[in-house]
Structure 1
Amino acid sequence: MSETIRPASPSPVPVAAPAGPDRTRAVSLALIVGCQLMVAIGFSSVNISLPGIRAGLGLSVTELSWVTNLYMLSFAGLLLLGGRAGDLLGRRRVFLGGVGLFTASSLLGSLADSAPLLLTALVGQGVGAAFAEPASLSLIAVNFTEGPRRNRALAVFATAAGLGLAAGMLAGGLLSEISWRAALFVNVPLGLVILIGTPLVLRESTRHRGRFDLAGALTATGGVIALVHAISRGGTNGWSDGLVLGSFGAAAVLLAAAVAVETRAAHPLVPPRLLRDPHRAAAYLQTALVGTVGAALLFALAQFLEEVAGFSPIRTGLGFLPMAGTLFGAAAATPALIARHGAKAVVVLGAALLTSGTGWLSALSEDTGYFTGVLGPLLLIGAGQGTSITALNSLILARVAPGDSGAASGLQQSTMRLGAALGLAAAVTVYGASGGGAEGFGDAFAFSSGIIGVGLLVSVFLLRDHESS
């Protein structure tokens, strides 16, 4: 059963502020990027605050694991639906709804006095992020014309993710000294600013004719949730665990059903035409492979710095700031690099930097010092992420029909999150199989380097700039 969405007339474009269009565009981009920062800060700051959450609410180890799992499952599972909702209902409207839910859930979590209430708040955060993030990326397509201007906006957007993770780790370390509740509340003021400013400067997109393909939404969402659960649980409980195998089986059945439904649907959740271009399909694959690096880095390196190098949570957060700096610089330089050399060359460069950085970290040992064996890899990885994500977003959104930009953005975010889940599970599994300790962290990075090395081959042989297609 599907609900028909009638096309609405385009919302009037808000009048530019007296300061002129350039300032209005800057404010628009700041609001879009603010959403990306909010989501990234929320995820990383809560992860740093897990010990405080466990002590404050008296959670068991099993309950504590659900603090991140429920967020990841609801977020990754609903990204495709969130992206398509923006195309049909209006991206600004969906963006505001997602940010509002994320903000309210952050407030609820900061006030939670029991595990069920906290977990409910985290599910709300995941659902809000699943609708806000694809809408935020597609709003760039609405508010910035394709070409250098959009590439610059995408560079800032990509920078926000890396800066948000680093800032979240630092904020989590600082705020955990006060209370774990502060780590959840920190997003409330930012969310309120976005909610107030968005209607004033961001243009609404045209609502496109279509239907919510409920059968496709249920099968695709269920399949992604089952796959993320299987990958996440497999990393901690082992791949022969009955629930892991059952989740993989359910994912295979549901995703196969989703493909069958989507190929026949008049208004599919993920339009097959997005993947008929083999070069765009390769860009999605590379996005997933790039996504594996960040999750593995946060898991393995943060623990190495605290458990082996003896860093405090605050010092660990500060240790990631150089990576944020190179990510920012690389993302800022990427539009000019794309204009001169093409997006494919920039993706290849980013993959090479990521492969080198993770390969360098594979040499971690108990004697590794921060300045001799950690700082250099962080600089390389930051530069690799800044260039890769920006250029891949440019390839994915290039020549996408206006009615499909939300779906394209949702698929981009979904593949990135699936890659992150895979990277985290792989890091946990390799670390455990290696017996833990410094060598276990090194082995985890060696495996991560192998994964992104495959991405280097994908970017060299399968990607192509649309201009030369």
Structure 2
Amino acid sequence: MPHGNTATSPPNKTAILATILISYVMIVLDISVVLTGLPKIHTELGFSDAGLAWVQSAYTLTFGGFLLLGARAGDILGRRRMFIIGMTIFTIASVAIGASQSSAWMLSWRAVQGLGSAILAPTTLALLQTSFDEGEERVRAVSLYSAAAGVSATVGLVVGGLLADWLSWRIGFLINLPIGIAMVIAARIYIHETDKRPGAFDLPGAVTSTLGMGAFVYGFIRSAQAGWDTATFATIAAAIIMLCAFVLIERRASQPILPLRLFSDMERSGAYAGRALYISAMVGFFFFTTLYLQQVAGLRPALAGLAFVPATMLHVPIAIIVPRLIRRFGHNTILITGMLIGIVAMAWLSRAGVGSNYWTAVAMPMILIGISQGLTLSPLTSSGVARVAREEAGAASGAVNVAHQIGSSVGLGILIAIAANGSSGLSGADLTAYRVSHAFNTGTVMLVATLLISLFTIVPAARRQALSQEEAAPAKCAA
């Protein structure tokens, strides 16, 4: 059997891709698997209503805050090593969460699990770049990677609801133990260690980026719970100061944790901004649709989870054929089409209210959501790592994941805050329906902004790249 430690052995790309995809599925799945199980977690562990929000927030804070450090660690210490370390931390934390007997214990280990994800997520994407050749092979791998992310989010809701109703919400975390062990073994066997870059960590950059991201996310989450009081403004101001300091440090650092030259490319910059906005809208879709199905439509957790199946019906097949669609119609056409479908779907969902028919008000726009995600996420990921030098693959993948996490955490906080505006005097199902409608209206605006950013950044940059390749082809043939 070939062993990953043998540098001369040919890489088993199928095994490498399977290891990367399964690992990434674990990360995304644990973000959504708890949502439909939150009522049971609330009762079993004695959470307060406000404290329950931290089941997600404790994870997203450490996930988003340590992403850049995790990406940089892979560049310096070796990506296979960091993959194994990240998976080990994630797996141990998952088992501890599954064994939780108190709210404090669960939140502490959710934070540790977020740290493991922060190491693991950018490492998986960086390994994808370094293990697969640029061109059709990498496009196919990235498409499967994007499909895994989108499907896992929805599958997590379905599985979480079924487990909460029929067995226990704890199973969703405990199952990570055998899978995590298998992934560590697979990494040691099949994944070659990447070249290590000499040098020290950019510790000032790591500290300011981690604290700045953490404070920024915390500030918006707090605003949704306590309003824009003095403490919230102070937290946001501190976050801005630390992030500005981070930019200044990165400009002067000899080995920055996030090379600012990544943003010199218009396509990559547009992809980062577009991804943050797109994911903001999509995480809002999952969160607020869950509330609608249980608190307005009156479904039990298991049925609420199954009600998300329409969102996955076409997501996987669409994501899998995206490489062929891109070859036939072009990167820009597929990206813009996916965004337009998402705008229609989100606007449609905003019309759902008390007494609405599930099939026409929720299920049909859900199908469009799945199609949009299948068409959009892969091109956004490809644009986020376009024309990146091999030695900076980890930094670029870290930037992609940071954009994703900003959308997942800050975006949700913004949607929750906006959804609460003007809802005084309402209660019960009417209150939830009002907030859900407002959240989806805001999500529609976010998707329109994503479309505009793409039209002015990604589309022209990708068009120039395609033209330059066409011009270079005849010259290469003549040579």
Whole-angstrom CA distance in 2 between matches of 1:114 and 1:324: 34
User: Which deviations, in whole Å up to 9, do the C-alpha atoms of 1:316-349 show, x marking residues without a partner?
Assistant: 1111122122221221121112223332332212
Whole-angstrom CA distance in 2 between matches of 1:419 and 1:211: 30
Structure 1 residues 155 and 182 mapped into 2: Cα distance closer, same or farther (>3 Å)? same
Whole-angstrom CA distance in 1 between matches of 2:147 and 2:336: 18
Matches within 5 A, 1:132-147: 132-147=120-135
User: 1:35 and 2:29 equivalent?
Assistant: no
Structure 1 residues 104 and 340 mapped into 2: Cα distance closer, same or farther (>3 Å)? same
Whole-angstrom CA distance in 2 between matches of 1:115 and 1:108: 12
**Quick check: 2:415–2:439 contact (8 Å CA) kept in 1?**
yes
**Quick check: 1:350–1:387 contact (8 Å CA) kept in 2?**
yes
Q: Report the equivalent of 1:298.
A: 286
Matches within 5 A, 1:75-94: 75-94=63-82
Whole-angstrom CA distance in 1 between matches of 2:295 and 2:104: 30
Unpaired runs of 5+ in structure 2?
424-430, 469-479
**Quick check: 2:61–2:409 contact (8 Å CA) kept in 1?**
no
Q: Report the equivalent of 2:9.
A: 15
Matches within 5 A, 1:290-329: 290-329=278-317
Q: Report the equivalent of 1:419.
A: 407
2:89 to 101, 104, 107: 101
Q: Report the equivalent of 2:243.
A: 255
Whole-angstrom CA distance in 1 between matches of 2:130 and 2:412: 33
Whole-angstrom CA distance in 2 between matches of 1:301 and 1:81: 33
User: Which deviations, in whole Å up to 9, do the C-alpha atoms of 1:4-36 show, x marking residues without a partner?
Assistant: xxxxxx9643735xxxx7xx3222111101111
**Quick check: 1:343–1:394 contact (8 Å CA) kept in 2?**
no
Whole-angstrom CA distance in 2 between matches of 1:45 and 1:140: 25
User: 1:227 and 2:222 equivalent?
Assistant: no
Q: Report the equivalent of 1:461.
A: 456
Q: One-letter code of the match for 1:409?
A: S
User: 1:180 and 2:178 equivalent?
Assistant: no
1:65 to 53, 62, 68: 53
Query: More displaced, 46-55 or 206-215?
Result: 46-55
Percentage of pairs with the same residue: 34
User: 1:246 and 2:234 equivalent?
Assistant: yes
Q: One-letter code of the match for 2:159?
A: A
Let me know the Cα RMSD of the aligned residues. Answer: 1.7
1:204 to 193, 208, 225: 193
Q: Report the equivalent of 1:5.
A: none
1:440 to 418, 429, 435: 435
Q: Report the equivalent of 2:444.
A: 449
**Quick check: 1:155–1:332 contact (8 Å CA) kept in 2?**
yes
Structure 1 residues 190 and 14 mapped into 2: Cα distance closer, same or farther (>3 Å)? farther
TM normalised by structure 1 equals 0.93
Whole-angstrom CA distance in 1 between matches of 2:328 and 2:294: 42
Q: Report the equivalent of 1:364.
A: 352
Deviation at 1:424? 1.2
TM normalised by structure 2 equals 0.91
Structure 1 residues 14 and 97 mapped into 2: Cα distance closer, same or farther (>3 Å)? farther
**Quick check: 2:35–2:287 contact (8 Å CA) kept in 1?**
no
Whole-angstrom CA distance in 1 between matches of 2:301 and 2:361: 19
Deviation at 1:116? 2.8
Unpaired runs of 5+ in structure 1?
1-9
Secondary structure of 1:210 counterpart: coil
